[in-house]
Amino acid sequence: MKLLPWTAEPFAAPTDRDMLPSERRTFVRTHRTCVYGYGRSADGPSMSVVYYIPTDADELLISTMRGRAKTTAVQRDQKVSLCILDERWPFAYIQLYCDAALDDDPKLVVDVMMAVGGRMSGTPLGEEARPLVEAMAKKEDRVVLRCRPYSSFAQPPRHLHRNDQQEPLTHWITASMPWDAKDQAPG
């Protein structure tokens, strides 16, 4: 498994149609933040904004502390949701339904933390930062949540730019589809 590098120019969702399955996967692979959601034992779902690292095996890796509720929740129920956020306005988003698992491999934990640092700053961290990141990972008892998408739901960017806009603000029905769905020819 290889961590994918951050893309300075993330995929822009089309504004005139639903995203194809391959475009949904490209959107997810080229963005960096999401709302991580999971069911709580009481009250409504829990949600938090996190950075994620995509892999060439189509997993999304999230760094967290072992003592956080995200970790406990995955041990209780492996079903999580990720709402992948576009950073441009008007924004699109893709909701992913995932199976999650906990991984505490120290090398993977540090690799993911290094990659998150690069995404936060927009520049990969140099190897000179690795000892500091290793110390932080150990001190904070960090783990990785491995999220494997099995279904996606896309919402296109829609926006009213001004009150006298001549073009109509259109919406259409979109649907959940399997993560590994094939693109269908139009018609």
- What CATH number is associated with residue 72? 2.30.110.10
- pTM of the shown model: 0.90
| Torsion from C-alpha of 75, 76, 81, 85, nearest 10 degrees | -50
| pLDDT tens string 124-164 | 999 999 999 999 999 999 999 999 999 999 887 665 555 55
Query: Tell me, what's the pLDDT at 154?
Result: 87
Would residue 66 count as lying in a domain?
A: yes
Would residue 135 count as lying in a domain?
A: yes
Query: Using CA atoms, how far apart are residues 51 and 48, in angstroms rounded to an integer?
Result: 10
Q: Residue 93 corresponds to which tokens in the numbers above? A: 């988003």
- Which residues of the chain are modeled with pLDDT < 50? none
| pLDDT tens string 88-102 | 877 889 999 999 999
Query: Tell me, what's the pLDDT at 167?
Result: 60
Would residue 75 count as lying in a domain?
A: yes
Would residue 1 count as lying in a domain?
A: no
Work out how many domains the chain is built from and give that number.
1
Query: Using CA atoms, how far apart are residues 124 and 126, in angstroms rounded to an integer?
Result: 6
Query: Tell me, what's the pLDDT at 87?
Result: 85
Would residue 30 count as lying in a domain?
A: yes
Between the CA of residue 138 and those of 40, 52, 66, 117, 135, what are the distances in Å? 27, 20, 11, 16, 5
Would residue 122 count as lying in a domain?
A: yes
Query: Tell me, what's the pLDDT at 42?
Result: 84
> H helices of 7-126, where?
21-30, 69-76, 106-121
Query: Tell me, what's the pLDDT at 157?
Result: 66
Would residue 73 count as lying in a domain?
A: yes
Would residue 185 count as lying in a domain?
A: no
Query: Using CA atoms, how far apart are residues 119 and 146, in angstroms rounded to an integer?
Result: 18
- Can you give the residue range of the structural domain that contains 83? 21-156
